[in-house]
Amino acid sequence: MPAPIRDPGLLSRPFFEDKARAFWRLQAAGWSGYLLLRTVSSVSNELSVERVIAAIIESIVGYCLTLLLSTLYGYYRRLPRITGIFLTLATLAIATVIYAVIDAFTISFIRIGEPGINVPLVVAALFLNFTVLAGWSALYFGINFYLIVEQQIGQMQALESQASHAQLAMLRYQLNPHFLFNTLNSISTLVLLKQTERANIMLSRLSSFLRYTLANEPTAHVTLAQEVETLQLYLEIEKMRFDERLRPHFDIDPRVAKARLPSLLLQPLVENAIKYAVTPQEEGADITVTARLAGERVQIAVSDTGPGLIERQPRPTLSTGVGLANIRERLAQSFGADHRFVSQSNPGHGFSVEIEIPFQIEEPNREAA
């Protein structure tokens, strides 16, 4: 019998988890039912001990023959297809003849009282015996084929899951080099300006940020509270560059603090706002992160008071090509179609991104560190 599957009902993993046990149970149940059917059919016209004994012997012989067939069929399945089909049909024909001969001998011994091979009895038994063995063979191959298909489906799902995890990890790891490039650039500038104390503070905060983010599995989901804490660590680093020009604000509904989302999902949005709202304006900009609970949905928004989208100078990407497309892809990988991602611009008054995801408090893949 083939490997187990994961389908509910009769053909389920608990039933086929032990393949040998499943086979013996099906074999016993099938032939017990056949014995009952043959017994009822034999005594329906005439109740006699001989008919019951003949039905019992017929079922025992069929049981033993199908055990042999199962062994041979299992061997044939490993052969080339044409050879396997030919040997299967030949074996079924031979088994049918043997079954009919034994049945005819049993009938002649019990009912006629003169043991021997009666050709008319053999011919009469051939049709019934062929129907029984052919039906058993069809059921055997049908169940095996079904289980093989289910096993392959399970393997494909496992491969798709691995591919999805790999893609999520790739998208997540795209963020670290980009952020490190900007931060190390700032630290290098502070060192060149001989502002060693500020450079040391920035290095310390960078160390805390990296320790926090790299400790988490790249495909794990973190709580919104953890994501906000990560943003605050990141903004502390950026405050070293922009001082009062960078004015962050957080408005987080306590009810969504435990809601889960992909780690570092919001960091590129904040970084985008710094690049396009804080950097180009002498007075800087406000960056606001809000989160609200709307029924069974979590609504998150990241907005700024920058110049918004300037005609012919959209900001769909960051300086290294990692931007809004990355976030859309991560949302699609994590939530499928069950999410909303909208960006809005008010030229001269700011830019905002709104995200809506299901309210989940359990990690769908694996727990974050």
The predicted structure's pLDDT at residue 255: 93
Same domain, yes or no: 144 and 284: no
Range with the largest mean pLDDT of 174-178, 276-280, 289-293: 289-293
Same domain, yes or no: 197 and 294: yes
Distance between CA atoms of residues 260 and 203, nearest Å: 29
Boundary (domain end) residue, out of 162, 187, 203: 162
Same domain, yes or no: 253 and 352: yes
Question: Out of 45-49, 184-188, 264-268, which region has the weakest mean confidence (pLDDT)?
Answer: 45-49
Q: Identify whether 251 is part of a domain.
A: yes
Of the chain, the percentage scoring pLDDT greater than 90 comes to 20
pLDDT greater at residue 253 or residue 219: 253
- Any idea what the CATH number is for the domain that residue 274 is in? 3.30.565.10
User: What would the mean pLDDT of 79-92 be, rounded to a whole number?
Assistant: 90
Q: Which residues are CB-contacts of 71 (< 8 A; sequence separation ≥ 6)? A: none
| Tens digit of each residue's pLDDT (9 = 90 or more) over 293-347 | 999 999 999 999 988 765 444 444 444 345 677 788 888 878 888 999 998 887 7
pLDDT greater at residue 186 or residue 223: 223
| Tens digit of each residue's pLDDT (9 = 90 or more) over 1-16 | 444 444 444 444 567 7
Same domain, yes or no: 158 and 181: no
DSSP-derived letter for residue 118 is -
Same domain, yes or no: 208 and 155: no
* Residue 250, strand partner residues: 289
Which is nearest to 350 in space by CA: 299, 298, 302?
302
The predicted structure's pLDDT at residue 318: 41
Distance between CA atoms of residues 241 and 186, nearest Å: 7
Mean pLDDT taken over the chain: 79
**Whether residue 251 has pLDDT greater than 90:** yes
Are the C-beta atoms of 329 and 312 separated by less than 8 Å? no
User: What would the mean pLDDT of 94-115 be, rounded to a whole number?
Assistant: 79
Same domain, yes or no: 213 and 111: no
Q: Identify whether 167 is part of a domain.
A: no
Same domain, yes or no: 134 and 182: no
User: What would the mean pLDDT of 63-72 be, rounded to a whole number?
Assistant: 91
Taking phi over 0 as left and psi of -120 to 50 as alpha, with beta for the rest, 352 belongs to: beta
pLDDT greater at residue 248 or residue 347: 248
Number of domains in the chain: 2
**Whether residue 355 has pLDDT greater than 90:** yes
| Tens digit of each residue's pLDDT (9 = 90 or more) over 214-246 | 666 656 788 999 889 888 888 888 887 788 899
Range with the largest mean pLDDT of 114-123, 166-175, 201-210: 201-210
The predicted structure's pLDDT at residue 104: 83
Boundary (domain end) residue, out of 162, 188, 211: 162
User: What would the mean pLDDT of 80-101 be, rounded to a whole number?
Assistant: 90
Which H/E stretch holds residue 68? helix 49-76
User: What would the mean pLDDT of 137-149 be, rounded to a whole number?
Assistant: 86
**Whether residue 203 has pLDDT greater than 50:** yes
- Parent domain of 51: 13-162
The predicted structure's pLDDT at residue 290: 95
Boundary (domain end) residue, out of 162, 188, 217: 162
Same domain, yes or no: 222 and 271: yes
- Structure-block tokens of residue 270: 């904040």
| pTM (predicted TM-score) | 0.52
Q: Identify whether 227 is part of a domain.
A: yes
Count of beta carbons in the 10 Å neighbourhood of residue 23: 16
